[in-house]
Amino acid sequence: MSIEVRPLGVKCNIQCQYCYQNPQRDAGNIAQGYDLEKIKAAVEKEGESFTLFGGEALLVPEADLEKLWSWGLQKYGSNGVQTNGVLINENHIRMFKQYKVHVGISIDGPGELNDVRWVGTIERTRAATASTEKAIERLCQEGIPPSLIITLHRANATADKLPIMYEWFRYLESIGITSARLHILEVENEAIQQKYVLTPEENFTAFLGFAKLEEELTTLKFDVFADMRNLLLVEDNNSTCIWNACDPYTTSAVRGIEGNGQSSNCGRTNKDGIDFIKANQPGFERYLALYYTPQEYGGCKNCRFFLACKGQCPGTSIDGDWRNRTEHCQEWKRLFSYIEAKLIDEGEIPISISSNRQQLEQVFIETWAGGKNTNLYSAYHWLKEKTIKASQN
Ligand SMILES: C[S@@+](CC[C@H](N)C(=O)[O-])C[C@H]1O[C@@H](n2cnc3c(N)ncnc32)[C@H](O)[C@@H]1O
Ligand code: SF4
Ligand code: SF4
């Protein structure tokens, strides 16, 4: 779970062409100001350490960043920021160290491979990428390596680009990067679809390549592969939100706080340009619907990976409609099959082929129908205890 504070809403210094927040910008829903006291009061209500998010968090003036992070350190012991890294300067680096700010940086590759994260002209775009690359190196030199988010598309993950990406990750590992998250491009409009989207085959090939690269690397990990493996082994206590039956109206993994203190959801599900406020009650209708709906109608019926995948992040649903499963079903299914085969080779019994699978699915269905969520670890152990008790009676 993370508390994401967005003092300036979706306001950003660059214009990534694919950004899922563009519908909100196009609709003119950009925050004009913020109130630090209201933000702090909202954070206190949540009672946990927070990450500054955006848009671009580092557009917040340095004096206000200092106020927020010094308060955050004193109250919760650490801080976070998710940034495109372009604006990071020496004063930011001092604050990151002084106020224990964990830094997440988004960059899609070195040099021209990051061109889709656009800054108006090609010169400005390349200069911005160079600043981000330098910031990554500086943070590593300072002993506070950032974690990275890389979005895959036609400008960085086609067959001709992948070897450059692999080499870049080898370099990143050598300077101290240990954690990277790969995003499949989520498509918001036709123009992006035509220009940047990879085919399911290309996405799969890219992911498979990164999985193989991870085996060669020693300290740098892509969280998605550990997640998928752990899900199949019912060890999913720490898996990321995309696998956890996220309700698009309450997005429990992301508790957003806007500049005026208002609560908000993860922006991934805002398809109409409107930042809806959080609903009071979670609901799991999406997951009940996916379980019962045949795959030809946008559901997941009879998929042996449903317990692990759950139709994936609602922000990536087919046609932007959260009632559907993810538009990246083909890719995830093939990757799960790949990891499933590896686990079988290792002598494990992944949940996808376990004789318990259908019983476990019923536990999820009943839990969701009761308005609650669960995970594989809890459901599996609950079922196991129940079976033991029944055999003793
Ligand atoms: C919206 S940005 C906001 C935070 C900050 N400005 C940054 O760049 O990290 C959050 C993350 O979402 C990713 N992102 C934006 N649009 C996306 C899309 N359509 N598909 C996949 N990832 C996307 C960005 O690359 C970034 O890693
Ligand atoms: S909408 Fe997607 S990215 Fe956002 S919290 Fe839910 S699962 Fe995570
Ligand atoms: S792999 Fe596809 S069909 Fe299976 S659960 Fe995931 S989205 Fe649904």
Per DSSP, the three-state class of 46 is: helix
Residue in 184, 158, 180 with CA at minimum distance from that of residue 170:
180
CA 127 to chain centre: 26
Residues touching ligand 1 (Cβ under 6 Å) are: 12, 16, 18-21, 53-56, 82-84, 106, 149, 151, 183, 185-186
- Look at residue 377 in the predicted model and tell me its pLDDT: 97
Kindly identify the ligand whose nearest atom is closest to the C-alpha of 86: 1
Q: Could you tell me the two tokens for 313? A: 């992040």
Domains and CATH numbers, the chain: 2-198+245-258 (3.20.20.70), 281-392 (no CATH)
Q: Is the pTM of this model over 0.85?
A: yes
H helices of the chain, where? 22-26, 36-46, 62-76, 90-98, 122-141, 162-175, 190-196, 200-216, 223-232, 285-292, 306-309, 329-345, 357-369, 376-392
CA distance 226 to 214: 10
Residue partners of 119: CB distance under 8 A and separation at least 6? 13, 14, 15, 86, 125, 127, 128
Ligand nearest to the CA of 333: 3
Which residue's alpha carbon is nearest to atom 8 within ligand 2? 241
- Residue 5 and residue 43 in contact, taking contact as beta carbons nearer than 8 Å: yes
**Which has the closest alpha carbon to 138: 84, 177, 167?**
177
Q: What is the pLDDT of residue 132?
A: 98
CA of 19 to the centre of ligand 1 (A): 6
Residue pair 209/168 in contact (Cβ under 8 Å)? The answer is no
Rounded to the nearest angstrom, the distance between the alpha carbon of 152 and the centre of ligand 2 is 18
268 C-alpha to center of ligand 2: Å? 6
Exposed, middle or buried: residue 315 (CB in 10 Å: 0-12, 13-18, 19+)? buried
Q: Which two tokens stand for residue 75?
A: 């109250």
Q: In this predicted structure, what is the pLDDT of residue 201?
A: 97
Tokens read off for 264: 């908000």
Residue 117 host element (H or E) = strand 117-118
| pLDDT value at residue 31 | 81
Residue 314: its pLDDT value, please? 96
Q: Residue 190: what pLDDT?
A: 87
8 Å CB contact between 260 and 8: no
* Ligand 3 geometric centre to CA of 371 (Å): 22
pLDDT 10s digit of each residue in the chain, 393 long? 689 999 999 999 999 999 989 888 888 887 878 999 999 999 999 999 999 999 999 999 999 999 999 999 999 999 999 999 999 999 999 999 999 999 999 999 999 999 999 999 999 999 999 999 999 999 999 999 999 999 999 999 999 999 999 999 999 999 999 999 999 999 878 888 999 999 999 999 999 999 999 999 999 999 999 999 999 999 999 999 999 999 999 999 999 999 999 999 998 988 877 777 889 999 999 999 999 999 999 999 999 999 999 999 999 999 999 999 999 999 999 999 999 999 999 999 999 999 999 999 999 999 999 999 999 999 999 999 998 888 887
